[in-house]
Amino acid sequence: MNNQPRLFNSVLCLLTALRISNGYNLEATNSISIIPGNGSVEALPEVHGSKFFYFGFGSNMLAQRIHIQNPTAQRIGAALLADYRLDFAREGPRWRGAVATIVPTPGEHTWGTLWEIDVSNLDDIDNQEGVHLGIYEALTVYVKLRDEESATPARAYMLTKTHQPETNIYDMLPDQVPQGRQPSKTYLQCLIKGAIESSIPEEYVIRLRSIKHNGRVESSLEEKLELQDVVLP
């Protein structure tokens, strides 16, 4: 007698129970967020009505920064993404250093800001992240707000496979971090100011302050985003 169907159903029930007990359902798994060929975004898990949720873990934790290209963004609060680490790679001219990405890493976590944005701005944030250039790719992640058990689907961006770091920056001593993996002073100041503004836990802010930066300053952004008073080691 073939017991495979019965075994499959048992495993499926177990997975369902586990995910529901953690505030998830079977669809609540992080995945690449692909807009259908017809251009309709309503089917994306992060979209609800005329709005969508967005998880910013880099410069877009800061309201002054995200509002430059996404003026409809409204902060919901600090949110936690489990089993991903924050890392840096791909030097870019805008910030004069490496930029932030998230990398799947069991047991690690990344704090960021959960925003609610008009669907009319979805293309704007895709363009800001260089999706059309193959720099970042959009994905749906499930994050938890502070003091909440249920998970919220949100749009996030990580560097494409070509640009993702192959090593963990936190496994290196500061002097071992390659130049191409170091954010600029201005970029790191932006992350720290945004994290504080979003009430992200202090221990995570301390971790951000410990990240090796390349010392470069992007004066125009430093002034525009009022970053001069953000103290770094």
Residues with a catalytic annotation lie at 129
| Dist. CA 44–CA 60, nearest whole Å | 21
Binding-site annotation: residue ranges for substrate:
54-59, 187
Residue ranges for the binding site? 54-59, 187
SS3 217: coil
| Pairwise CA distance, residues 45 & 32, whole Å | 11
**From CA 210, how far away is CA 12, in angstroms rounded?**
43
Q: Are 111 and 78 in contact (CB under 8 A)?
A: yes
Sign, CA torsion 75/109/90/44: negative
The C-alpha angle with vertex 193 and arms to 160 and 165, in degrees rounded to 5, equals 20
